[in-house]
Structure 1
Amino acid sequence: MKSMTGFAHRTISAKGFLGSITLKSYNNRFFDLSLSIPASASGIEPNIREFLGSRISRGKIECTLRLKKTEATLDDITMNFQSAKTLTEQLRNLALACGLNDTPSLDVLTRFPGVIELNTDIDESELWQILFPTMEETWREFEESRIREGLATQQNITNQMNRFTSKLDEIEQNAGQLEQLVHDQITARFKELLGDNYDESRVLQELAVQLVRLTINEEIQRLKAHISAFKAIAAEPSCGKKLDFLCQEMNREVNTIGSKNMLVAVSLAVVEMKDALENIREQLRNVE
């Protein structure tokens, strides 16, 4: 069981590149990936999306890539001589117009955009090969943070499910008493209407009809099956959505027991079970 919230940050320093990769995630019903990468590295966006999309089933994921070249070659630098000449002439004209005897220096000229251009384009296939090891390290750190938080969440869910199971056992123990109560009520009604001369077989017929309507044995057995399924699904890597759906089914069975019940002890147990399920569903909102 893994949490949907996690964080990891790794720095990059390899083959003339310097930067960092940051992964953050938050709760979300579906998989939602937001990427923030430099325009010069936009070509590797599909690689990052495939890498993360194949490993995460749901949650809002924010991936931030910071990257720059630390080494520049002659091929990376472009000198625009014509722009420099035009700019020099215009600056001289400006100086004459202002009555100044001044000539623009090289320091001034290189500050203007377009005079010297640094080529920041990056070879996509080469860049992904360079980044891949750091991306894997970031991913492992990210997964470890989600697993740690997931273990704490799993323990809370297990505690609530144990509470739920305990109350179901109490209800099962009272199921026989509920049937006896139905029998006593029907018998009392016949005595009230007919005195002691009522037909016992007629009582049994009415009892059978009422037990079909009021018995909770089927709900108890279905809840036991749901509990077993819950434990099995909880062992899967991405189980949050399935478990939430299963909790909805369990809640319906508990509601049915509550609607059929006539015992105070069962009513109290139903309240406890509904509260446990609500706590479980709250925790599942943070499970992948």
Structure 2
Amino acid sequence: MKSMTGYGYGEYQDERVQLSLEIKSYNNRYLDIIVNLPSAISPLEQRIRDFIATQTIRGRVEVYLKLRDLQENAEVHVDRGAVQGYLDALGELASLAGTSAEISLPMLLQLEGVLSIDRRRDVDQYWAVIEPLLHRTYREFDESRAREGASTLTDIEEQLSRIAAQVEIIEGLAPGLEEQIKSSLRDRFREVMGESVDENRLYAEAAVLLVRYSINEELVRMKTHIDAFRRTLGDGEEGRGVGKKLDFICQELNREINTTGSKSTIVEINQCGIEIKDALENIREQLRNVE
């Protein structure tokens, strides 16, 4: 089991380039990848997205890469047209002002567009050093998610044990619910018919009510859901996404305990139902941050 919250940071430097990479994530219903790169290497964004998408199932994952070139492969060009244009304009200005035009090199260098710099960047060369840094940083990021997921798993297992214990209590109280139905029905018959109660009629009516109010099916389904929950937890031991499956099982458990509560007239059963719903809410709160 892995949390959707994680953090990883990595750095790399050689004689040509200095890199820092940060990966962090938050809970999200679906997979949402945000990649922030310097514009010079923006063509690499899709490669980073593809890598994250193959490793992560859901969550908002943010990737920030900073780059500093220590040795730039750049060419400086003189814009001859711009230089000539400036010279012509300055000469015309001097003529209109009635002064001599003294144009120096420092003056020309301050004028926009006289020089242009062409920085040659081969994105594949950058990728050669970014890719291993990305893998290394993601491992750190993934380990942090696994650590938090392990803590979450411990709490979920405790809450599930709490639910299973309450279901056992309800199962022990269920016969009392059936006896209560029979006793209540017998009292009603006596109110109407006195002591001359037709036992066959009584049993027939009791059978109808037991079919309607019996919680045996709900108990069977609750135990089945608990078993399915445990199996799914086992499926997620290697960190693969189980959050959505577990949340669905919680919904089904909640449905069964609601039905049980609507049928029960025994206070102790209803109290167990409250405990189960509280534990379920705790589990679902944790599952909101499980991948």
Give TM-score scaled by structure 1 length.
0.90
For 2:175 and 2:191, the matched residues in 1 are separated by 24
For 2:111 and 2:9, the matched residues in 1 are separated by 36
How much has 1:47 moved relative to structure 2? Answer: 0.6
* CA separation of 1:170 and 1:104: change in aligned 2, threshold 3 A: farther
The equivalent residue for 2:57 is 57
* CA separation of 1:95 and 1:177: change in aligned 2, threshold 3 A: farther
* CA separation of 1:111 and 1:188: change in aligned 2, threshold 3 A: farther
The equivalent residue for 1:190 is 189
* CA separation of 1:188 and 1:47: change in aligned 2, threshold 3 A: same
Paired residues, number: 285
DSSP 3-state at the match of 2:20? strand
The equivalent residue for 1:284 is 287
DSSP 3-state at the match of 1:67? strand
Measured against aligned partners, the alpha-carbon deviations of 1:135-193 in whole angstroms (never above 9, x if no partner) come to 00110011011111111221221221111111111111101111111111111111222
The AA in structure 1 aligned to 2:290 is V
How much has 1:102 moved relative to structure 2? Answer: 6.0
The equivalent residue for 1:248 is 251
The equivalent residue for 2:241 is 238
Q: Which moved more, 1:34-43 or 1:134-143?
A: 34-43
Measured against aligned partners, the alpha-carbon deviations of 1:66-125 in whole angstroms (never above 9, x if no partner) come to 12322123xx2222152455546656777895979865444x644555344333453233
* CA separation of 1:94 and 1:35: change in aligned 2, threshold 3 A: farther
The AA in structure 2 aligned to 1:209 is V
The AA in structure 1 aligned to 2:249 is L
DSSP 3-state at the match of 1:201? helix
Matches within 5 A, 1:141-156: 141-156=140-155
DSSP 3-state at the match of 1:24? strand
For 2:249 and 2:30, the matched residues in 1 are separated by 18
Contact 2:79–2:113 under 8 Å retained in 1: no
What is the RMSD of the two structures over their aligned residues, measured on CA atoms?
2.2
- The gaps in structure 1 that reach 5 residues or longer are none
* CA separation of 1:232 and 1:93: change in aligned 2, threshold 3 A: farther
For 1:211 and 1:100, the matched residues in 2 are separated by 114
* CA separation of 1:14 and 1:262: change in aligned 2, threshold 3 A: same
Contact 1:77–1:116 under 8 Å retained in 2: no
For 2:108 and 2:168, the matched residues in 1 are separated by 85
From 268, 271, 284, give the equivalent of 1:268.
271
The AA in structure 2 aligned to 1:257 is T
What percentage of residue pairs aligned between the two structures are identical?
39
Contact 1:171–1:269 under 8 Å retained in 2: yes
The equivalent residue for 1:80 is 78
2:46 corresponds to 1:43:
no
Please list every run of at least 4 consecutive aligned residues from structure 1 whose deviation after the TM superposition is greater than 4 angstroms. Answer: 84-103, 108-113
Give TM-score scaled by structure 2 length.
0.89
How much has 1:204 moved relative to structure 2? Answer: 1.2
How much has 1:240 moved relative to structure 2? Answer: 0.9
* CA separation of 1:124 and 1:244: change in aligned 2, threshold 3 A: same
DSSP 3-state at the match of 1:197? coil
The equivalent residue for 1:158 is 157
The equivalent residue for 2:135 is 136
The equivalent residue for 1:175 is 174
Contact 1:36–1:65 under 8 Å retained in 2: yes
* CA separation of 1:44 and 1:57: change in aligned 2, threshold 3 A: same
Contact 2:166–2:272 under 8 Å retained in 1: yes
The AA in structure 2 aligned to 1:173 is G
Contact 2:32–2:59 under 8 Å retained in 1: yes
For 2:6 and 2:180, the matched residues in 1 are separated by 53
